[in-house]
Structure 1
């Protein structure tokens, strides 16, 4: 497998804003060909035109709700028919809602799992079969540090991202013999519109804004590891260090950092 992005076709989900938009830019800057998926046609078209005009490279867009299994299957068929061999997919699309379990409606819980987990699994399955034909490819799944340190009000979101990490870890071992790389990206809070839905009050953002990650920096780092055998990308480093301590002594960590864990 080649270890550069030049002329490689990269599918990116949730590409109309935030990390997904930045992933599209850094794919194009690195010489790759971004293939962007999201629901908003207007936003995708603006990003496509900006990339074509400013970076002078091809960029392709497909408007689809990836939680609609039939629509997703049809779109993936079209993508493969249009472009032939795809080289990587970054399953970036996701959402969060920060509420106590007893206050959250069931539809919100279902929506998080449909988008964060089931759509990621279905796309990974489709692309795994596609990559197997040439024994090459890379699947990158965007998870979260919340999966490693679950905190109040993030119970369902953390559960969905825990599922992503568990799925990714097993898939990595299954795909290794096919020459396919599988990577999880575990992020702390990132400065994007994710929190407009997750935290509409703005209280959590106010408490963590000093150490929120820059989406441009995140995207650049993720793209830099494309087509390399990277198990995990963990950001920020100090949160990953904290998660390792938490795994060793969860009771002590929960007592020591109770106030910090309850900032939502």
Structure 2
């Protein structure tokens, strides 16, 4: 019965992961950490292993929909492998410090969540009003997302970005969504839907290598990871398809709202406060 519950948890996690390019970890990790009282290190390892399933299925759907810049995904993904290896080694020294892991995970969510909320709730509506006044011709209208082609940026920049995010993934298991999507949007100036699809395609390599290390470090509940992963695969397939029906501003606001809650949950747990 318990594993059926994990499967059901994976469904909405995968849907949101496919929709936002996170792979589902942003929901799965806090649910098993706080809802089922997993050890912080086990929560990281189990979630990252489960996300291998969703990243693969979500990336497949986004590739079919034309939402993936293959060159960028390859550069970020391959360079991210080195970062994941180093980060996983560091994680090996931190895994016995549960509260510290909670604090690091929470802090990692803060900046992207605030930026996404600001963009979705303040900047995007302002641009929409300007577009209406100018007859839809204003700079910054979400039409830029309609025909995504390529994530801007030099190969070196993308490789460095992949290595840094891979390093963070090895430590906290959340590299795909919390860092890749905002990085593609704000550092490389890519369009939203392309950022989401390319994030999924990039992250699969980081998740796979990270999961192998977590298995070696004995911080993965394998049955739970499989149940979460299978449920999340199904959810991710529908989440990826739903991207085309959602406005960019809505995606940003949803992304930010989820992340700000998760950040507060983890940080306050470090200080012994439950929300």
| Normalised-by-shorter TM-score class | 0.3 to 0.5
Q: Which structure features the higher share of strand residues?
A: 1
Q: Which structure features the higher share of helix residues?
A: 2
TM-score, reference length from structure 1: 0.32
Q: Higher relative contact order at CA 8 Å, sep ≥6: structure 1 or structure 2?
A: 2
TM-score, reference length from structure 2: 0.31
